[in-house]
Copies of this chain bind each other. A is one copy, B any other.
């Protein structure tokens, strides 16, 4: 019995801001699973800023999506048919195989999720890749220490809101965040940021100077551009900048200029600036999961999602994400959580 699936394919490589015409929803039929394969019905799929990079040809840390083929990305789902002894029917799994509602996958390409009683989508967010990104970036790459002052750009996103809260929970002296709307700024204050600003309200340099007049020890960057410029200026001697993202540049069609007076700032303050990619830090997964699960159970960590409903809305979700429409993790729900 063939398996019907709907999949989002990349229709064209965008120049600048992606548009709905760059994507195409395709109906396909898969044959029954072969030996060693499972059929996964997706419960929710992730849209993430890094995916903008996969639409582009050229050297990157991840292979680009191919035009005319299904796009890849994190998803959680349920195994509805199994021909693998390792993954039973009914198992809840994490895969990198959305954007689609149903996929036939080799069992080794899914990871079974333990039953936690928590929403399944959190495995795409605070307990998943974005959470580990925040954890590894702040504690390992950023060498955060109790008493440090931290500035997070794009702080209301999935990664940023985790970074800020992790810093607070580990004894930061100050946690400053930037975001793109008054509502997000208000939410950052609610979840324990000591200061937050809307970057539309002036020059980032001035807003940061007001929010963190004494400077900061660690900068966690999701935005790039003017934010990076301002933060390098605000870092203390021996400050650390973790470069996790630069969403302000993702649709750039020209060469992006770098931070001004870079060498002079680097030397006079002996700054350490390091690029972050979560795949380098999977060895932290167990420690991360235990720590963050503990913060969730104790009620110390606030988790928020922005949820779009239905596979048809995956492209609007992604395009809105790139415009900053989300607070917390952006996910696309394809089916209710299984009981």
Interface residues of A (CB under 8 A from B): 53, 59-61, 221, 224, 228, 237, 243-246, 249, 255-277, 280
Contact = CB atoms under 8 A, between A and B. Distances in A.
A327 to B, nearest CB: 23
A325 B275 CA distance: 37
Chain A interface, >50% SS class:
mixed
A267 B262 contact: no
A270 B263 CA distance: 19
6 contacts: A221-B263, A228-B263, A249-B263, A255-B261, A266-B274, A273-B273
A221 B228 CA distance: 21
Contacts of A269: 61, 275
Contacts of A277: 267-268, 270
Given A257-B258, A268-B59, A246 B274 contact: no
Contact of A257 (B59, B245, B260): B260
B275 A274 contact: no
A45 to B, nearest CB: 23
Contact of A262 (B259, B261, B268): B259
B280 A275 contact: no
A60 B268 contact: yes
A260 B225 CA distance: 11
Nearest to A61: B268
B260 A243 contact: no
A275 B260 CA distance: 15
B263 A268 contact: no
A130 B6 CA distance: 64
A44 to B, nearest CB: 26
A234 B269 CA distance: 25
Contacts of A261: 255-256, 258
What 7 A-B pairs have minimum CB-CB distances, sorted nearest first?
A258-B258, A246-B263, A266-B275, A258-B262, A258-B259, A224-B263, A243-B266
Given A243-B266, A243-B267, 9 more contacts: A53-B268, A59-B268, A60-B268, A61-B237, A228-B262, A243-B263, A246-B263, A255-B260, A272-B274
Nearest to A243: B266
A47 B270 CA distance: 22
A67 to B, nearest CB: 21
B270 A280 contact: yes
A247 to B, nearest CB: 10
Nearest to A269: B275
A259 B262 CA distance: 8
Contacts of A228: 262-263
A272 B274 CA distance: 4
A60 B257 CA distance: 24
A256 B262 contact: yes
B272 A276 contact: no
Most chain B CB within 10 A, of A259, A261, A275, is at: A275
B274 A270 contact: yes
B276 A274 contact: no
